[in-house]
Amino acid sequence: MKDLLVFVRVMSTRLTGERSTAALRGRILQNMGSFVASDVEQLKQAIAECKRLILELPEHSEKQKDTVIKLIHLRLKLQELKDPEEDEPNLQVLLEHRFSKEKSKSVKQMCDKCSTIIWGLIQTWYTCTGCYYRCHSKCMNLINKPCVRSKVSHQSEYELSICPEVGLDKQDYRCAECRTPISLRGVPNEARQCDYTGQYYCSSCHWNDTAIIPSRVIHNWEFEPRQVCRTSMRYLALMISRPVLKLKEINPLLFNFVEELVEIRKLRQDILLMKPYFITCKEAMEARLLLHLQDRQHFVENDDMYSLQDLIDTSSGRLSCSLTEIHTTFAKHIKLDCEKCQAKGFMCELCKEGDILFPFDNHTSVCHDCFAVFHRFVFEHIRYIAIYHLLYALLWGLGRDRFSSLNFVVTISY
């Protein structure tokens, strides 16, 4: 090894003098090609000499390109000596993480623990199948963050306050996750705020990733991505399709200002009214019509629970288009394609006239007590008449002396 290093140095010195020739360069590259090293320090010296040769060779020459390739091989050998390959298991469980050994050698990733690049060609690395936490195999024993999926399974709710900041002093000027000292001035480490939790984190726990914040959507109908820490980013990614938002309880006024939500709610209510037709129809079950909503299973269970993805798609218009198409397909089966479903239609119980009615038609009303179906204009007219007669009877019971004055008020209200 020492003799080879001396040879490389001598050859590189000759290259800078007048006696340097192409033959000498060829001999250097030939010796480097057969070079096999086992000592880390000697490898580092050989790499340094090789780098110097690259600078001294003619620019863009074939010899320089070959030398660059040799340099890469030397560096790979050095990395192999630093991280010797071991017979590591394909699956490891740690802090509720289920780490699976990755086989990809070409994809470049970042280690979530040490925040450095994972070189898949020469390094072994793992990915958690639950939260997609990635790390080197050598960083496995240093992990102190539990799997975010366990939090999703146990908690399954969002922070609904907008950026609930408490201040660095409450955190003792330390990262909220790893407890590394931080400050807003960046000394010793920069403090980065997570817009979801409101807390401050170090640069290792907060990579300036962005995500849509649920609280800002619910209270402000705002969908601009904000900077969040790594843990919040993974948590929000796992929660995005979970129907955990009951809008009529969290912010019922949202329906007064967002017309798209009113449209989505009406479509969902209609789909729930169509569901009994499908579960009692053999043709619908064979056609698996309800599987049109397999990505949003909660749409066939209730009409008031929303996922964050539902709200995002509502804002963009995608959900309205998708639901309208599904609504049309469902209605076509019930009203046109299937005779059995057509036979389950209704006649207006009040006027006994017109076509067959279905509870999901736009021009019908459904009694909440007996579930009978009526023409909307007939039902509304009869309801107002009933209310008027009820009030009339109540006012008559107040006495003839007070009836005349109150009757005028009732008439105007009617």
pLDDT tens for each residue of the chain, 414 residues long: 444 444 444 444 444 443 444 444 444 444 444 444 446 777 788 888 888 888 888 887 888 877 887 787 777 777 666 665 555 678 888 888 888 888 776 677 888 888 888 887 778 888 898 888 988 888 888 888 888 887 787 667 899 999 999 889 999 999 998 899 998 887 778 899 999 999 999 998 999 999 999 999 999 999 999 999 999 999 999 999 999 999 999 999 999 999 999 999 999 999 999 998 888 888 888 888 888 888 899 999 999 999 999 999 999 999 999 999 999 999 999 988 888 888 887 777 667 676 777 888 777 777 666 667 767 666 666 665 566 556 656 666 655 444 444 443 333 333
Burial of 268 (0-12, 13-18, 19+ CB in 10 A): buried
Span(s) in the chain for CATH 3.30.40.10: 156-239
Predicted pLDDT at 252:
92
Rounded-to-integer distance, Cα 317 and Cα 260, Å? 8
The DSSP symbol for 36 reads -
Pairing of strands 91-94, 97-101: antiparallel
Predicted pLDDT at 259:
93
Burial of 106 (0-12, 13-18, 19+ CB in 10 A): exposed
Q: And the tokens for 206?
A: 């907060």
The DSSP symbol for 336 reads I
Span(s) in the chain for CATH 3.30.60: 91-142
Give the CATH H-level superfamily of domain 156-239: Zinc/RING finger domain, C3HC4 (zinc finger) (3.30.40.10)
Fold of the domain built from segment(s) 91-142 = Wheat Germ Agglutinin (Isolectin 2); domain 1 (3.30.60)
Q: Which of 244, 362, 239 is nearest to 302 (CA)?
A: 244
Rounded-to-integer distance, Cα 147 and Cα 130, Å? 7
Map residue 110 onto helix, strand or coil: strand
Q: Which of 338, 320, 321, 329 is nearest to 360 (CA)?
A: 329
Predicted pLDDT at 164:
92
